[in-house]
């Protein structure tokens, strides 16, 4: 070959690469998921979506991932499980996304499992309850900090703190709604009861559409239980708290597994009625020091949330939705690609640095160590939102590394 041909050929190759390379670089890295943007869980779904969008923007501002822009491809699952198989099949087959994450809650995570399993995709779940115990999938990961045995992790704090009271409590009342999460939490509570040797003086569930909780609380009050553990969803949680105040419930500790007070809506609605209640939270401003960068993120989130009419505090789901994406980001960077097997391997092996702290996964995909915060509400005055944005209304009791104070018992003497 003469020199002209060589130069020409080289030029042609370089030219073609120059054409193709930007096209390749411009191929966005697509992450697909369904999310509850309408339906009963829309409030949480939209909050999570905002967090994930902030993550994508933050990342793209820094140059994207693997040199590619990150793009979120999502559809509204309407909090309706029957939409999920179609959505995830479309994401994989039509939109050809590179990665999948889940929507919010067991109901929409489980229907996606068969699909991700058949395609051998690594799959991050957003707050599903013990989903993998049935599927036993080795590429499933859960961002909820409940620990490898979620029922235990959810309830450990309440019981550890309770047994630290002096004198030790003897009796406990267990109550919850007839539904998935409460049933699991109560299972955990019963296991804790066995461990601690407490005597169960009340153990009943109530039907999902109950609206009148006074009879239930009255029945519990009549047992004079030292501890009252409740596992409930937001409407029942509100009902229970109100009924407890109406009836004048007396107990050394009351609460444990109420879903609802984590959200701004119930915090403002119940206000001072929450004082004295021991419950679980995933984040409160009182431990902001332990979670650097989270305050920054929350400030960004809260601005948007108010505009979109979504939970203006964002303490519950948004930080974890963001952390979920951070785990993926780090795994992709570390493995240098999108090989699902390599990603899953990496995620099982290493520890991740996220806005919600260090995250490590157990064999079943749950957190290796639980980190549900057990807290007690206090000094809540009135029904405004502002007070919840600053520390001073929530004492973190457990785990020890996050504790900011000790429990004040009994419940009825600490309702201020």
| Positions in the binding site for other proteins (CB under 8 A) | 37-38, 75-76, 78, 80-87, 89-90, 92-94, 106-107, 110-111, 113-115, 118, 131, 134-135, 177-180, 183-184, 207-208
Q: Please say which residue, 124 or 225, places its beta carbon nearer to other proteins.
A: 124
Q: 228 forms bridges with which residues in the sheet? A: 173, 254
Least distance from other proteins to the Cβ atom of residue 1, Å: 42
Least distance from other proteins to the Cβ atom of residue 267, Å: 27
Least distance from other proteins to the Cβ atom of residue 114, Å: 5
Least distance from other proteins to the Cβ atom of residue 78, Å: 6
Q: Please say which residue, 2 or 118, places its beta carbon nearer to other proteins.
A: 118
Q: Please say which residue, 52 or 87, places its beta carbon nearer to other proteins.
A: 87
CA–CA separation, 27 vs 25, rounded Å? 5
Q: Please say which residue, 73 or 385, places its beta carbon nearer to other proteins.
A: 73
Least distance from other proteins to the Cβ atom of residue 326, Å: 28
Q: Please say which residue, 136 or 353, places its beta carbon nearer to other proteins.
A: 136
For 257, list phi and psi in degrees, rounded to 5: -130, 40
Q: Please say which residue, 39 or 410, places its beta carbon nearer to other proteins.
A: 39
Question: Please, how many CA atoms are within 13 Å of residue 72, restricted to the half-sphere of its CB?
Answer: 24
Least distance from other proteins to the Cβ atom of residue 393, Å: 33
Q: Please say which residue, 92 or 368, places its beta carbon nearer to other proteins.
A: 92
Least distance from other proteins to the Cβ atom of residue 207, Å: 7
Instruction: Tell the burial category of 176 from Cβ atoms under 10 Å away from its Cβ (0-12, 13-18, 19+).
Output: buried
Least distance from other proteins to the Cβ atom of residue 365, Å: 16
Q: Please say which residue, 92 or 334, places its beta carbon nearer to other proteins.
A: 92
CA–CA separation, 253 vs 263, rounded Å? 22
Q: Please say which residue, 53 or 86, places its beta carbon nearer to other proteins.
A: 86
Least distance from other proteins to the Cβ atom of residue 384, Å: 31
């Amino acid at each position: 070959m003469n020199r002209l041909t060589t130069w020409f050929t080289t030029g042609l190759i370089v030219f073609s690469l120059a054409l193709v390379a930007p096209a390749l670089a411009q191929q966005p890295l697509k992450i697909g998921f369904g999310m509850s943007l309408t339906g009963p869980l829309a409030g949480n779904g939209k909050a999570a979506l905002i967090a994930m969008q902030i993550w994508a923007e933050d990342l793209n501002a820094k140059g994207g991932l693997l040199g590619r822009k990150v793009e979120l491809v999502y559809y509204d699952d309407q909090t309706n499980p029957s939409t999920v198989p179609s959505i995830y099949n479309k994401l994989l087959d039509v939109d050809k996304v590179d990665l999948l994450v889940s929507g919010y809650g067991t109901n929409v995570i489980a229907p996606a499992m068969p699909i991700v399993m058949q395609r051998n995709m690594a799959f991050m779940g957003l707050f599903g309850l013990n989903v993998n115990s049935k599927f036993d999938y080795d590429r499933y990961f859960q961002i909820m900090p409940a620990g490898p045995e979620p029922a235990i992790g959810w309830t450990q704090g309440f019981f550890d703190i309770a047994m630290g009271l002096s004198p030790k409590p003897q009796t406990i009342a267990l109550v919850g709604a007839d539904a998935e999460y409460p049933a699991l939490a109560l299972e955990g509570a019963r296991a804790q009861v066995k461990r601690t040797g407490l005597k169960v003086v009340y153990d009943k569930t109530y039907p999902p559409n109950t609206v009148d909780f006074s009879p239930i609380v009255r029945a519990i009050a009549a047992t004079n239980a030292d501890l009252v553990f409740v596992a409930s969803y937001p409407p029942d949680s509100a009902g229970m708290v109100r009924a407890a105040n109406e009836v004048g419930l007396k107990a050394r500790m009351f609460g444990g597994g109420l879903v609802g007070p984590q959200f701004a809506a119930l915090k403002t609605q119940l206000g001072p009625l929450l004082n004295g209640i021991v419950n679980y939270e995933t984040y409160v401003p009182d431990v902001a020091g332990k979670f650097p960068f989270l305050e920054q993120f929350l400030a960004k989130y809260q601005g948007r949330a108010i505009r979109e009419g979504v939970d203006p505090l964002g303490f519950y789901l948004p930080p974890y939705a963001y952390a979920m994406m951070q785990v993926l980001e780090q795994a992709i960077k570390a493995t240098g690609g999108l090989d699902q097997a390599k990603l899953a391997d990496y995620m099982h092996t290493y520890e991740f640095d996220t806005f919600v702290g260090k995250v490590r996964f157990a064999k079943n995909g749950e957190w290796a160590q639980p980190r549900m915060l057990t807290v007690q509400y206090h000094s809540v005055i009135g029904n405004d939102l502002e007070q919840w944005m600053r520390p001073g209304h929530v004492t973190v009791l457990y785990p020890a590394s996050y504790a900011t104070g000790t429990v004040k018992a009994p419940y009825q003497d600490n309702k201020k």
